[in-house]
Amino acid sequence: VDSTNSYLSRYPVRSSGRAALCVAELQHAGRGRRGRAWVAPFGESICMSLGWMFETMPSNFSSLSLVVGVAITRVIRAIGTQDVGVKWPNDLLWQGRKLAGVLIEMRGEPDGKAQVVIGVGVNYRFSDATRSVLAEQQLQVCDLHEILKSHLPSRNQLVALISCELLQCLNEFARTGFVSFKSEWSNYDVLHQQAVQVLQADQRLIGVAQGVTAEGSLLLRTNEGMQAFHS
pLDDT digits (tens, 9 = 90+) for 167-200: 999 999 999 999 999 999 999 999 999 999 998 8
pLDDT given for residue 53 in this prediction: 94
Is pLDDT above 60 for 59? yes
Residues 130-147, mean pLDDT to the nearest whole number: 91
Q: What is the pLDDT of residues 7-54, one digit of tens each?
A: 999 998 988 888 999 999 988 866 655 556 666 788 899 999 999 999
Rg over alpha carbons for the chain, rounded to the nearest Å, is 17
Closest CA to 114 of 71, 189, 173, 66: 173
pLDDT given for residue 78 in this prediction: 97
Rounded to whole angstroms, the Cα distance separating 195 from 166 reads 31
pLDDT given for residue 56 in this prediction: 87
Rounded to whole angstroms, the Cα distance separating 121 from 173 reads 21
pLDDT given for residue 85 in this prediction: 97
Q: What is the mean pLDDT of the chain?
A: 92
Burial class (CB in 10 A: 0-12, 13-18, 19+), 79: middle
Per-residue pLDDT band for 203 (boundaries 50, 70, 90) equals: confident
> 34: Cβ–Cβ under 8 A, 6 or more apart, which residues?
none
**Least trusted range by pLDDT, from 33-42, 69-78, 150-159, 202-211:** 33-42
Beta bridge partners of 94: 84, 97
Rounded to whole angstroms, the Cα distance separating 65 from 166 reads 11
Distances (CA, A) of 174 to 21, 43, 167, 177: 19, 34, 11, 6
Report which secondary-structure segment, H or E, holds 65: helix 64-78
